[in-house]
C-alpha cells in the first residue's frame, strides 16, 4: 500500500507541476481550477495518511508558515542594483556608442529581454534547496518574504539539477508578478468586496507579496520570472547572459520566452518595436525591454556607474494606465445615431499621449463601473485603442450623481430609444439629427435605396457643411445656383446631379422604406413592410404599440398551439422582430421625421408600389413572392386576384409547399388551408392581400 501511495504521490506532484507550468508559463491550462484543486486535495490527503512520504519540495508545503508580525530584514550578499533608462532611439544609440567606444569594438552582441513590471526578488538556494528570499529593498537589504515566496507555484523549491551537482549557494534574481488574467479576476473580487480596484497588476502583486499571512498571498496567485543571478558558489557559470538564462530554464526557473540574442543597435530598436506590438497580448505587463551586453567578460570590462551597470539599459514604454479625475460625463451621438457616454478627464499622460476623455461605452458599462462626475478613476490606453475608464476609486468619491442616459438626444432633442436586449441607446431623429445628417443622406441616396447617381461622400460633405442640405428632403430643393457655388462643381456636373435627383422621384415602396434609414430596417424588412402596408399612408397611420401587443399575443397563442398540435394563427409582419417594430415606432413617433416624409412628397417624390418606368421587375412589391389561392373571396374572382398578384410581380402556384410565401383563403377553403397551417405558411384574407398589393398604392 505505501508503495502504491508513493507512486500516486509522485504522479500527483508531477501532474501538479505540469499544470502549474501550463497555467502560468504557457497560458494554456488543460484542466479547470476545480480539477486542479481536486488533484491538490488528493495529494494533501495521501500525505496526511503517509506522513513519511511528505517531502519539503511537495507543492503542499508552499503554504505552511503561520502569519508573521513583520518581515525581518535580510541583507543581500551581492547588492541588487537598478538599470538606467532610455526613453527614445537617440538614448539607445548613445548607450551602444559609449559601450563600443569603451570596449573598442565595431559591433556588440546583445541579449534582449522583456522588462517585467513587477517586483525584484532575490531567491537564495543552499545545496539545491530554496532557503529564503527577499525583496530588493534599498538594494543592500530587503525584507524576508520567504513564506510568501514559497506560495508561488512556479518557483522551484528544489533546483532541478541532480543533488550531488547542486551548487552550495545560488542566488537567483528575477521578478515576481501577477498575470493579467489573475489580476483581472482578483480585481473584480476586490472591487466587489472592498469597493476599490488596484491600479495595476504590479500594485496587486506588491500587495499580495506583503501579506503577513502566507494564506492570503496564496489566494492572490503570483508568478516569477528569472533574469539573472547574484552570489554563486560551487557551480561553473556560463560566460554569456544567453547561456545563463538557458541554464536557469534547465533548473526549472521560468524565464521569458520572448528573450532574444541580437547583434548591433538596429536590432535592439527592432526588438523594442516588435515587443511593443505584442505588448497588449502578452500574458503579463511589461513597462519596457532590457538590453544587456551578452558577454560577461565585456560586461565586467564596462563595470558600473554609481548604482547602475554600464552594460545594460532599460528601454521604456509609456505607461498604459494612469489615475485622473472625471470632470464630467457627456453623451456623444455617432453618425449612425448611437449615443456613447464619454468621461471628460483632467488631462493625463497615458500610453504615450495626453488623454482628455475616455469612452464609457454604453449605459450598462457606466452602471457596472459606477462612474460619476468628480470621481477618481484609472484610465487605460493600450496601443491604438480608444482610452477607457477601467475602474473607480470610490473611497475618493465626493458627491457625484449617478449617470442617467438622457431621454432626449443631446444634439437634436429627438427621443432616445434603447432597444431591448441591446446595450446601445440610439437617437430616433434619424432624418433630422445633425449628428446623423451625413450618414442619413448618404444612405438615402445610396444605390440600393433612392439610387441618386453621383451623390457621393465628398459632395454630401460639402452640401452639409454649406447648410444647403439638412435632411434628405432638401435634396429635392437643390438648384443650379447652389450647386455651382460648391467646390469643383461645373455646370455640367451640377446639371447631372439635378437630373439624378429628379430620376429618383419615383421609388418603389420597399426602396423608400429602406431609404429612411430606420434602425433595423434593411432591404428585407423594407420589403415585408411594403407587402404588409401597401402604401406610405397605411405605414404612417399604423399603431405600432398595438402591433407589438398583437404580435406578442399571437406568438404566445401559437406557442400554446404548437404544444397542443392546434392550427397556428398568422402573425402580422412575419419575420420582423419586436425590436425592429419598436425601432420603427420610435422613428415615427418623432414629428420631425414625419415632417421630412411630408416634405419629400411635397417636393415631388411619388412612392408607388406599382410604378413602372424605372422600377424593374425585381423591385415590385411582390417580386419573388409565391401565393396559393383557396376558397371563395368576398369580392374578387380567382382570375381577378391572380391578375393582380402577377401585375405586382408575384407568382400564383397550384399547391401549397415550403416554397409558398402566402396562402390567400376565402370561404369554404379546403385542404390547402390545412396544409398551409401545418407548414406554418402565413394566411391572408382578401383585405390584407389588397393592402399588400397596394390598392391605393400611390403616395
Q: Write out the residues near ligand IVH by the rule CB under 6 A.
A: 81-83, 113, 115-116, 120, 136, 175, 227-228, 290, 309, 314
Cell of 261: 540574442
Determine the residue with CB nearest ligand IVH: 120
Burial (CB count within 10 angstroms: exposed 0-12, middle 13-18, buried 19+), residue 30: exposed
Minimum distance, C-beta of residue 16 to ligand IVH, in the bound complex (Å): 27
Question: Closer CB to ligand IVH, residue 115 or residue 677?
Answer: 115
Minimum distance, C-beta of residue 6 to ligand IVH, in the bound complex (Å): 40
At 25, is the secondary structure helix, strand, or coil?
Answer: coil
Minimum distance, C-beta of residue 320 to ligand IVH, in the bound complex (Å): 16
Minimum distance, C-beta of residue 166 to ligand IVH, in the bound complex (Å): 24
Minimum distance, C-beta of residue 331 to ligand IVH, in the bound complex (Å): 42
**Which positions ≥6 away from 579 have C-beta within 8 Å?**
419, 420, 421, 422, 520
Minimum distance, C-beta of residue 206 to ligand IVH, in the bound complex (Å): 12
The CA distance from 447 to 289, in Å, is 52
The CA distance from 460 to 437, in Å, is 9
**Contact of 290 with 120, CB cutoff 8 Å:** no
The CA distance from 561 to 677, in Å, is 11
Minimum distance, C-beta of residue 27 to ligand IVH, in the bound complex (Å): 19
Minimum distance, C-beta of residue 248 to ligand IVH, in the bound complex (Å): 12
What distances in angstroms separate CA 172 from CA 239, 261, 354, one per listed residue? 16, 21, 39
**Contact of 46 with 104, CB cutoff 8 Å:** no
The CA distance from 696 to 537, in Å, is 10
Torsional class of 422: left (φ above 0), alpha (ψ -120 to 50), beta (otherwise) = beta
Closest CA to 56 of 4, 5, 126, 1: 126
Per the DSSP assignment, residues forming a β-bridge with 86 are 315
Cell of 61: 508545503
The CA distance from 390 to 197, in Å, is 9
Is 115 part of the annotated catalytic residue set? yes
Question: Closer CB to ligand IVH, residue 123 or residue 515?
Answer: 123
Tell me which of 115, 357, 369, 691 is the catalytic residue. Answer: 115
Question: Closer CB to ligand IVH, residue 202 or residue 380?
Answer: 202
Cell of 490: 461645373
**321-333 vs 338-350, strand pairing mode:** antiparallel
Question: Closer CB to ligand IVH, residue 30 or residue 278?
Answer: 278
Question: Closer CB to ligand IVH, residue 201 or residue 580?
Answer: 201
Cell of 457: 461622400
* CB atoms closer than 10 angstroms to residue 566: 12
The CA distance from 227 to 211, in Å, is 25
**Contact of 486 with 466, CB cutoff 8 Å:** yes
Question: Closer CB to ligand IVH, residue 258 or residue 496?
Answer: 258
Closest CA to 513 of 649, 662, 621, 599: 621
Q: CA-based Rg of the chain, rounded to a whole angstrom?
A: 37
Question: Closer CB to ligand IVH, residue 309 or residue 631?
Answer: 309
List residues with catalytic annotation: 115
Amino acid at each position: 500500500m505505501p508503495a502504491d501511495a508513493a507512486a500516486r504521490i509522485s504522479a500527483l506532484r508531477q501532474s501538479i507541476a505540469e499544470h502549474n507550468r501550463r497555467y502560468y508559463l504557457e497560458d494554456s491550462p488543460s484542466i479547470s481550477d476545480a480539477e486542479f484543486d481536486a488533484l491538490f486535495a488528493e495529494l494533501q490527503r495521501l500525505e496526511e495518511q503517509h506522513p513519511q512520504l511528505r517531502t519539503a519540495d511537495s507543492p503542499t508545503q508552499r503554504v505552511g508558515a503561520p502569519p508573521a508580525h513583520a518581515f525581518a530584514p535580510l541583507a543581500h550578499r551581492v547588492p541588487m542594483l537598478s538599470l538606467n533608462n532610455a526613453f527614445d532611439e537617440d538614448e539607445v544609440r548613445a548607450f551602444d556608442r559609449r559601450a563600443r567606444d569603451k570596449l573598442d569594438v565595431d559591433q556588440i552582441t546583445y541579449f534582449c529581454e522583456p522588462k517585467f513590471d513587477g517586483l525584484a526578488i532575490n531567491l537564495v538556494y543552499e545545496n539545491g534547496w530554496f532557503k529564503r528570499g527577499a525583496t530588493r529593498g534599498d538594494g543592500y537589504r530587503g525584507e524576508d518574504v520567504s513564506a510568501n515566496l514559497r506560495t508561488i507555484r512556479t518557483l522551484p523549491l528544489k533546483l532541478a539539477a541532480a543533488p550531488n551537482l547542486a551548487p552550495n549557494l545560488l542566488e537567483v534574481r528575477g521578478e515576481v508578478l501577477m498575470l493579467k488574467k489573475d489580476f483581472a479576476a482578483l480585481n473584480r473580487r476586490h472591487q466587489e468586496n472592498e469597493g476599490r480596484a488596484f491600479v495595476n497588476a504590479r500594485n496587486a502583486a506588491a500587495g499580495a507579496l506583503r501579506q503577513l499571512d502566507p494564506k492570503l498571498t496564496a489566494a492572490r496567485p503570483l508568478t516569477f520570472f528569472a533574469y539573472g543571478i547574484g552570489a554563486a558558489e560551487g557551480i561553473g557559470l556560463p560566460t554569456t547572459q544567453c547561456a545563463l538564462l538557458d541554464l536557469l530554464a534547465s533548473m526549472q526557473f521560468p524565464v521569458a520566452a520572448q528573450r532574444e540574442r541580437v547583434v548591433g543597435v538596429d536590432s535592439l530598436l527592432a526588438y523594442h518595436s516588435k515587443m511593443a506590438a505584442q505588448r497588449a497580448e502578452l500574458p503579463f505587463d511589461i513597462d519596457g525591454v532590457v538590453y544587456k551586453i551578452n558577454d560577461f567578460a565585456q560586461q565586467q570590462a564596462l563595470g558600473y556607474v554609481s548604482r547602475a551597470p554600464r552594460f545594460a539599459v532599460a528601454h521604456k514604454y509609456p505607461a498604459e494606465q494612469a489615475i485622473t479625475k472625471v470632470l464630467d460625463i457627456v453623451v456623444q451621438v455617432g453618425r449612425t445615431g448611437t449615443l456613447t457616454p464619454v468621461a471628460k478627464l483632467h488631462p493625463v499622460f497615458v500610453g504615450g499621449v495626453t488623454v482628455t476623455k475616455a469612452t464609457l461605452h454604453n449605459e450598462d458599462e457606466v452602471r457596472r463601473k459606477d462612474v460619476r462626475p468628480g470621481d477618481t478613476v484609472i484610465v487605460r490606453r493600450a496601443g491604438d485603442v480608444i482610452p477607457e475608464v477601467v475602474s473607480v476609486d470610490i473611497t475618493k468619491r465626493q458627491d457625484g450623481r449617478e449617470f442617467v442616459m438622457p431621454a432626449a438626444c443631446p444634439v437634436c432633442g429627438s427621443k432616445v430609444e434603447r432597444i431591448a436586449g441591446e446595450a446601445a441607446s440610439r437617437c430616433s431623429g434619424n432624418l433630422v439629427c445633425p449628428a446623423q445628417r451625413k450618414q442619413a443622406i448618404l444612405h438615402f441616396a445610396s444605390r440600393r435605396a433612392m439610387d441618386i447617381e453621383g451623390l457621393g461622400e465628398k459632395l454630401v460633405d460639402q452640401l452639409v457643411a454649406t447648410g444647403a442640405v439638412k435632411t434628405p428632403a432638401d435634396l429635392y430643393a437643390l438648384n443650379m445656383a447652389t450647386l455651382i457655388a460648391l467646390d469643383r462643381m461645373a455646370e455640367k456636373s451640377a446639371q447631372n446631379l439635378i437630373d439624378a435627383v429628379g430620376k429618383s422621384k419615383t421609388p418603389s415602396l420597399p426602396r423608400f422604406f429602406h431609404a429612411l434609414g430606420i434602425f433595423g430596417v434593411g432591404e428585407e424588412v423594407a420589403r415585408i413592410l411594403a407587402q404588409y402596408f401597401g402604401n406610405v399612408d397605411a405605414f404612417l397611420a399604423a399603431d405600432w404599440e398595438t402591433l407589438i401587443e398583437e404580435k406578442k399575443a399571437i406568438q404566445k397563442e401559437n406557442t400554446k398551439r404548437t404544444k397542443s398540435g392546434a392550427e397556428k394563427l398568422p402573425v402580422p409582419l412575419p419575420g420582423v422582430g419586436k425590436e425592429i417594430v419598436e425601432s420603427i415606432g420610435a422613428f415615427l413617433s418623432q414629428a420631425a421625421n414625419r415632417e421630412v416624409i411630408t416634405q419629400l412628397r411635397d417636393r415631388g417624390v411619388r412612392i408607388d408600389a406599382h410604378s413602372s418606368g424605372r422600377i424593374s421587375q425585381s423591385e415590385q412589391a411582390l417580386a419573388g413572392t409565391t401565393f396559393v389561392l383557396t376558397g371563395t373571396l368576398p369580392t374578387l374572382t380567382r382570375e381577378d386576384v391572380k391578375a393582380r398578384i402577377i401585375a405586382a410581380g408575384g407568382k400564383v402556384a397550384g399547391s401549397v409547399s415550403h416554397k409558398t410565401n402566402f396562402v390567400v383563403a376565402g370561404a369554404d377553403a379546403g385542404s390547402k388551408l390545412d396544409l398551409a397551417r401545418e407548414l406554418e405558411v402565413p394566411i391572408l384574407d382578401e383585405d390584407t392581400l389588397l393592402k399588400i398589393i397596394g390598392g391605393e398604392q400611390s403616395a
